[in-house]
Structure 1
Amino acid sequence: MGTVSVSCPAGLGLLLLVMVVLLGEARAEERCMPPERLQYAELTESFSTMQSFPVGTTVTYVCRPGYMRIPGKSLNRTCGEDLRWSQTEEFCAARRCTHPGELENGIVHVTDLTFGSEATFSCHTGFRIRGNSEITCVVKNKGVDWDGVVPFCERVPCEPPPTIANGYYTEAAEYVYQTTVTYKCNDALKGEDPYSLVGTPSIFCTLDEDLNGVWSGPPPQCKVVKCENPKVQNGKKVTGFGPLYSYGHSVAFECDPGYFMIGQDVITCQENNTWYPPKPTCEEITEDRCGAPKISHGQVIPLQSEYRSGESVRLRCNPHCAFPDGAEEITVTCQGQNTWSSVQNCACKPVHSDSSPVISHGRVIYGQKPEYSVGDSVTIECYAGYTLHGSDRIVYMGEGKWSPEVPTCHLSAYVIAIICVITVVLVFLAAFWVYKKFFSQGGLCPDQLNSKEQRQERAAKTDCVTDVT
């Protein structure tokens, strides 16, 4: 069999060689684009300015400020033949700031301490922030630290309490949240009418809607109040016989036999020199008339001064109260001669508190009970050397709550000053004794003196045991 030889034209071989070279150059020109930006790291300086990277190039990262390297994790990435950068685990972790610390009379709100996190501060009721209410963990001194200091909470102040004519108030070292002042009237001069304290005797420093310090209400007034001697025809006084009546004095009346009362049986002298409610009248009992029925812990609907025989009214008990059969409302009818059918009184279920309010360094001086019902009040005072912050009179609101809040007793500034002075004096005396005992010549033991004669003389005057030879 013969041999077949194939020969390529010289031009075709040259063409193949050119194609191989061109393909190699094209392959060599394939490059990766810069890798995506990482939040926690950046390319080292030698790679940071490059716009493209040949296949096979390995780049190195460095952790950004605020981050630190995670041991054992690679900082390198490589441009692959698919023109993609090799994947890598996160190799830098955020640095951590130390806890900013506690905030006296306030709260520190912080959920994370890593670089970039924030800490916010808020104060308890009655206090306000002085300083930054928010700080951030930032890069500082080649590490991380907070960009501010912890603020402090100061007690909200009030302006000095208002003065009143013919009276004065108990002064305090400072007027801040819950500070209470009590007003009193001046003594009248001989022969003059006495002053009456009209209004709430005590006011306390509280907060307005903008959390600024304001007084709980206007101060009372000291004024001369005189009400006329009340007299009721066909009736008589039961209490409050006078003869002089000033603000707050009360008088109770009852009608003579054969008469019924129209109006309230107890009246009180008001600040405008009048009685309220108006003094009652006593009308003769007749067969066809009734006065308003009397009911405890309830109300009459409709309420009138008198009713005709056959008229009916509703008696409704106050909240938490009921009639003996459990009903909260009944209907009664006027039967003439000031007589009503089936008039009953309401019985109230007490709403008790668990115990008296607890006041450190203070006590309840009026109104203390084993249990309290809604509306009960107590008066509080601090022990000697302590100052009351808050109202001295609080009212039980139910469910263990008092209004205003239970006050607190703080050590008086004068007592603190005295303690400091005593401490300084004691320290001085102790230092003086040490000096006299060990450092002055009069306190040296004989073996600390120079001559034999000095040692013999001092040995007789001291308790030191030494060799004077």
Structure 2
Amino acid sequence: MINPSRLSTYPVDNEYSLTCKTGYSVNGKSVMTCYTNSTWSTPQFSCVPGCGDPRKEIPHSVILNYTEGTPFDAEIVLVMACKTSATQVGDETVLCSSDKTWIKSLKCIPDCSDPRLEVEVENATLTGFKTGSTTAYKSQYKFRCNLKYRMIGNSYIECLENSMWSKPQFYCEPCKCPCRRVGVPRYTEVTPEVVNQIQVETSLDLAVNEKILSAYIRLKTSVPNKKQVAKSIGYVGAAFLVVILGSIVLLDIPTLWKHLKHLINRITNFYRYIRH
């Protein structure tokens, strides 16, 4: 048994748990209190041959269906589980062997922290994560590059066994041509502010740079369009066409009259022939 008097000083009226040396197990209530007269309460437990508390060997674990103070005798089999803030890896059963050591494979891996506080990539946004989302071991989340940037590399991060997020294996570079990401929603929580942001980004996406249009380039490199001059040129052209057509008609009037008289004579002769 570890004697509290050999440890550093403790505040009075506090309770402290004691453990047995390796190869021994606590039998009873291993809690002692420091009194105001600087003495300890009478021990209510003993150390008997057995294994130590497996919860100390498997951090973040609990023992199911166990009564505190029961010794961990050799050959005892326990069923354990992980706390809600940890992920279970391995078999939940543990066995106290004859040499007073635990045979176990169970690990309880604590959750990672909020990735929004731990992982940051320039010109990128974490997607799929919101308050209350899981940060358990092996959970994954994806980044996406911000507007007008494209991703180079693997966009996923993962909660590792050391309860840390994996380092990002990507970066975002400016787009040389207009680019737009597809497939993964940009927003997971749509609020009025987010809607407004979507509208702004969409208007920027749809905006046309008039200076790169062929119509703008032709207009810039051609003769300036003087509207009054253009109208005058149109009037002169129309008048010219009228004069030409009129001249042609006037020149053809004698010929047309001659043919008309010939046609009238033929009709008259034909009428006379019928009467006779």
TM-score where L is the length of structure 2: 0.30
Q: Which has the higher helix share?
A: 2
Higher relative contact order (CA 8 A, sep 6+): 2
TM-score where L is the length of structure 1: 0.19
Q: Which has the higher strand share?
A: 1
